[in-house]
Structure 1
Amino acid sequence: MEQDSGPATRQDIRRLQEFIAEELARNTRALTAEVQVIGTRTARLEERAEAFTDTCNTLAHHAETLATRVETLEEALEDLSNRSRRNNVRLRGLPESVTSDALDATLTGIMKKLLPALPPARYLIDRIHRTLGVRKGQNAPPRDVVARLHYYSTREALLRTARDQQVEYEDGQLLFYQDLAPSTLAKRREWRVVTELLRSHDMRYSWGFPFRILVHKDGRTYSCTHLYRAQDFLRQLGLEVPDAIAQLTPPSSLPRLSRDWSPAGD
């Protein structure tokens, strides 16, 4: 079949224009439909992202609220534990050769030497025992002895006297401590850098509740509740801040999500 190689007629050109116009219209309709579908899906995704953002931020707020409440409950539990130990005294260094049956009489004898002015009734011990656990080998230090004294005033006098003078038993040194909750002891150990600095400058300190450290200087009382705040605390006392304290930062809050987009069509 021979191809027509003659020039295009007006009719040919019109048909070509109609064909191109139809193709453009068809493609435009297809693209418009796809854009509408994508727009609808994008709007739904934005709505879901907005809901997820609000939910995440709400959960972060609830988590921080719960963390605060847990901290409050832990402080209350710690206080109850310490109150239950209020009349207790912890004795360290008493040889294991002192049997359980002899602990009461032994501590009573020690108290009579340290506090000879007390009436005999004031030496009353409600209960006494060694700390739980197995001693690790014959050369391991003896287990601590925990005693509950009937009178709080006797316990205070015993700790005060033992702090000011050396106490010995069978050529070994005895140490008397408060019997505190493990959580309280752990917190105090974290403050060792600060307490050692205070002692090196002959600054006497005490502990308060809720947990805080108290220092009396020049008729004023300075206190600090958290270790990361100790920088300002030490500066107020005129002390140089150790590097270990200077590097501490406040705990960061949970991150919040932001809406960094504009809804489709804006």
Structure 2
Amino acid sequence: MSHKNKKISSTPKHTIIKALEKAGGRPKAVTEAADTGSDSEDNSSPENLLTPKDVIAIVTKTIQSELRSIVSELRSEISELGSRTDVVENQLDVVSKHQQTTDTEIADLRAEFSTFKDQLEDLENRNRRNNIWIKNVPESISAEALPDYLEGLFLQMLPDLSKESLNLDRAHRALRPKPNPDQPPRDIIIRFHFFKTKERIMASARNAQSISYSGSHLQLYQDLAQSTLKKRRDLINVTKVLRNHSIKYKWGFPFQLIVSKDGRSHSVRTPEQGLDLLRRLHLIQDSDPSTSASPSQQKTSAPTPSWQKM
């Protein structure tokens, strides 16, 4: 029970007066302060008066008794509060441990989810391994004329390519509405039947400074998943430095950037790893702002709870 809600039956002044009356009398000064003007009872006779020493002793004893009572009640309330605090701490400790377990499980699930995403991305890219995109093919080339157009293009790039190896499973425009005459033409998506044929054509495109056919400047790209394209864009600062220093690199599966320098191969998967590699190869300085990771690439860790049971 709270000490604030407890009703006090008498004031300390009345308690002292009662203690004096119980002792056999009260001093005249106390009697005059306690009475309200009634002269019906006279307790001022010498035999009823107490000496100052007796009054001090009685008052001291009464105050000590009252203090002991108050201290006892305070101790009881403090003990009750301590018990309730222990219960709250125990419950909070259970919740904190449960939260830490949950955080660990969430971190594990995120790692597994990231692994599954990489595997799914790798599967999608493997499914696209025989595909290429060609940009700037004029819209005037109809779907019926497209196979002959592509055959002529590839034979120009690789004159020794046999028609048997140049087997296309399909070739079509990107699936979007036909653009206006003043807009770029839709891309051509091609799937080769033979992977080696596609690799030879892409190698020829990389080695050629430019590809022109029937009056059009064409560009050839490997068909990739959108997630892979985004990862490549995130590494654009790294590949830019490599090109400026004429250092060869290539893309690997699953996603990685493979850099060859001084007869050694290095692989990176994230912008942070790429920047670290450039520093180790002495291609950039630590203070170079042009190669810093973008804010979207910088990750912040979640705060760790500081709760600890006392």
Q: Name the TM-score, length of structure 1 as normaliser.
A: 0.88
Matched residue, 2:255: 211
Which is further off, 3-12 or 236-245? Answer: 3-12
- The separation in 2 between residues aligned to 1:112 and 1:43, in whole angstroms, is 84
Matched residue, 1:50: 93
Deviation, structure 1 residue 246: 4.5
Contact 1:64 1:254 in 2 (8 A): no
Which is further off, 135-144 or 213-222? Answer: 135-144
Q: Alpha carbons of 1:137 and 1:24: their partners in 2 closer, same or farther (altered >3 Å)?
A: farther
- The separation in 2 between residues aligned to 1:48 and 1:180, in whole angstroms, is 52
Contact 1:56 1:256 in 2 (8 A): no
- The separation in 1 between residues aligned to 2:178 and 2:113, in whole angstroms, is 35
Contact 1:228 1:245 in 2 (8 A): no
1:71 aligns to 2:108 (yes or no): no
Which is further off, 68-77 or 213-222? Answer: 213-222
Matched residue, 2:242: 198
Which is further off, 18-27 or 72-81? Answer: 18-27
Deviation, structure 1 residue 13: 4.5
Deviations 1:60-82 (A, max 9, x none): 21121111111111110011001
Matched residue of 1:123: which SS?
coil
Contact 1:56 1:257 in 2 (8 A): no
Matched residue, 1:243: 289
Aligned length: 262
Consecutive unaligned residues in structure 1, runs of 5 or more:
none
What letter is aligned with 1:74? Answer: K
Q: 1:35 aligns with which of 49, 61, 78?
A: 78
Contact 2:134 2:188 in 1 (8 A): yes
Which is further off, 11-20 or 66-75? Answer: 11-20
Greater relative contact order (Cα < 8 A, sep 6+): 1
Matched residue, 2:303: 255
Contact 2:238 2:275 in 1 (8 A): no
1:131 aligns to 2:167 (yes or no): no
1:162 aligns to 2:210 (yes or no): no
Consecutive unaligned residues in structure 2, runs of 5 or more:
1-37
Contact 1:227 1:245 in 2 (8 A): no
Q: Alpha carbons of 1:37 and 1:101: their partners in 2 closer, same or farther (altered >3 Å)?
A: farther
Matched residue, 1:140: 183
Q: Name the TM-score, length of structure 2 as normaliser.
A: 0.76
Deviation, structure 1 residue 91: 0.6
Larger Rg: 2
- The separation in 1 between residues aligned to 2:254 and 2:155, in whole angstroms, is 35
- Aligned-residue CA RMSD in angstroms? 2.5
Contact 1:60 1:254 in 2 (8 A): no
Deviations 1:157-210 (A, max 9, x none): 111222223222342211111111111111001111110110011001012233
